[in-house]
Amino acid sequence: MIRNMLSRCRLALAASLLVVLSTCGWAQQVARPHVAQGRGGAVASVCPWATRTGVQVLREGGNAVDAAVAVAFTLAVTWPEAGNIGGGGFMLVLPGPGQPVWCVDYRETAPAAAKVDMYPLGEKTLGARYVGVPGTVAGLHLAHCRYGRLPWRRLLRDAIELAERGFPVSDALARSLNRVLQDPDSKPFAGLRRTFGHPQGRPWRKGDLLRQPELARTLRLLAREGPKAFYQGEIARLIVRQMQASGGLITAEDLARYRAKLRVAVQGQYRGYTIYGAPPPSSGGICTVLAMNQLERFELRSLGPWSAQTWHLVAEAMRRSFLDRARHLGDPDFVTIPRFLTSKSYAARLARSIDPRQATPSRELAPDLPIVEEGMQTTHFSVVDGRGMAVSNTYTLEMSYGSRVVVRGAGFLLNNEMGDFNRKAGHTDTRGNIGTAANLPAPGKRMLSSQSPTLVTRNGRVVLVLGSPGGRTIINTVVCLLVRTLELGQPLPEAVAAPRIHHQWLPDRVMAEQCDDPRWQKVIEGLRHRGHQVVFHRGTQGDAHCVLVDSATGRMTAVADARRQGAAAVVEPAGGGETDSRAGEPHDRAE
């Protein structure tokens, strides 16, 4: 299997883009996204190995959930900064045309020892004390039990082989590994250096082989025993031993009590489309629907994608959505989430509060909150099969390489998700620290997330699958993509390549991607003229891997964002072959 993949990767170097884009120059930041088109199924992810694995599962008769599970386990091997079995996330599933959309909630939970104000403001969220009880293995298994077709063992096969034999690292992965290994904050984490350090003690280079034998053994246990090994068996014992050695909070009882949950997806309507998102403890679904409900009150299409007025209105809708995120959202098993947040009438009231000429100061929107003076390295993938099943999955370790704690003997990284709880009760400040009660830590509680896996349907059939990494920017990356595709009518590749903005209520500023196109520069000038403080991202915003389905023809367009690296591939029905195209650095080294 892996040898065949290597041969295909060499051939894919000759593949050309199927869609030619006319987008802005990106100040040497972002390459154009790559595109694959077909009718039998589609996968888009950050990693060529993971995308290939997903496509092969579809070719073998697996459905979109089978492919998603295989992609997720493969990313745990090939994209260790965010792909994981030691973290958590959310998977949206549309089982088929006209069927209800469900969300598999496999967000991490707080250990029984968690308590309010246990983490000081300003402390770096590294080390074993910040590890939440992982949910990925339980969540992927729940999705497979509910919807899968192929045997569980098959879905881990490629990940095991890649971990055991090794794989040639891409330029993007080499840079990522070198960055974390050279970071002074990584110095205390010997397991990180032992697991991911180059065997010759030098920096990683493109084409070097990364082998992870301990992780391969862990994956074999999971293939044979399922989640029982992780939460009650040998892997659980290794996790607890690591916690005891490193000063972590997780106990054997915490692991044994963990359960992934099946929840009803958040749902909203937008100009004839139905938008589905992840429910709390994800804030993504509610905030996305709330923002789009506000924007439906305006005619953005008449303004166009290069109008400062368009992005002023988008920023104001974002601002109001994030205020309600801070005020209301948390784990629904611990707090009551107001039902009005996704209503059209509430959004209309918020939209009426938007001044079309001027930015609204964030402080003025929240006189009830006492105002004193999240990690980016998630990953998202999208899968659609030929039967109309669709999966949108976002999962994470929180920060890049999570807590940086590797479980000795098991070879995988643990998350640092406890840092996603509000730090100090009652302390909300202009720097973005939030102290509202809904997201304070408590034993067994799921921390609030910004993960926003999203599905869009029309007449019950999927038309768009999307999502992104990026901490709190995730929600607004999804909003930008929805505005550009559903409202402004831009083709998906163009929408993915276009610059993005983010406003999260506090700090009171618009974060924007830099772009050399003079039209975008005029947008930025127009935002500043309207009173927005605009600050440019140091890098890029998000990494959206999406699939579009033409409802008339059934043709699928898989788009791989190139902001980090990316791979898009499709399957043609009835043995019609496979086309693919990848952004970033293809894995093209010899076996």
CA distance 158 to 218: 14
Among residues 378, 473, 477, 579, the one annotated as catalytic is 378
378 labelled catalytic: yes
Q: What is the DSSP string of 421-452?
A: S-SSTT-EETTS----GGG---TTPBPPB---
First to last CA, the chain: 12
Decide: 75 and 83 in contact? Cβ < 8 Å: yes
Helix (H, G, I), strand (E, B), or coil: what is residue 511?
A: strand
Helix (H, G, I), strand (E, B), or coil: what is residue 364?
A: helix
- Exposure string of 154-164, with b = 16+ CB inside 10 Å and e = fewer, is bbbbbbbbbbb
Decide: 131 and 418 in contact? Cβ < 8 Å: yes
Helix (H, G, I), strand (E, B), or coil: what is residue 206?
A: coil
Q: How many CB atoms lie within 10 A of CB 461?
A: 15
CA distance 234 to 410: 9
Peptide bond just before 507 cis, omega within 30 deg: yes
Q: What is the DSSP string of 485-508?
A: IIIS---HHHHHHS--EE--SSS-
In terms of C-beta density within 10 A (0-12 exposed, 13-18 middle, 19 or more buried), how is residue 118 classed?
middle
CA distance 387 to 405: 41
Decide: 186 and 213 in contact? Cβ < 8 Å: no
Which residues lie closer than 8 Å to 49 by C-beta, 6 or more apart? 5, 74, 77, 78, 158, 162, 167, 587
Helix (H, G, I), strand (E, B), or coil: what is residue 556?
A: strand
Token digits of residue 429: 């400040």
Decide: 245 and 89 in contact? Cβ < 8 Å: no
Helix (H, G, I), strand (E, B), or coil: what is residue 2?
A: helix
User: Residue 247: which region, alpha, beta or left (left: phi > 0; alpha: psi -120 to 50)?
Assistant: left
Task: Compute CA distances 374 → 157, 160, 508, whole Å.
Answer: 33, 31, 16
Q: What is the DSSP string of 391-416?
A: EEEEEE-SSTTTTS-B-TTT--B---
Positions marked catalytic: 378
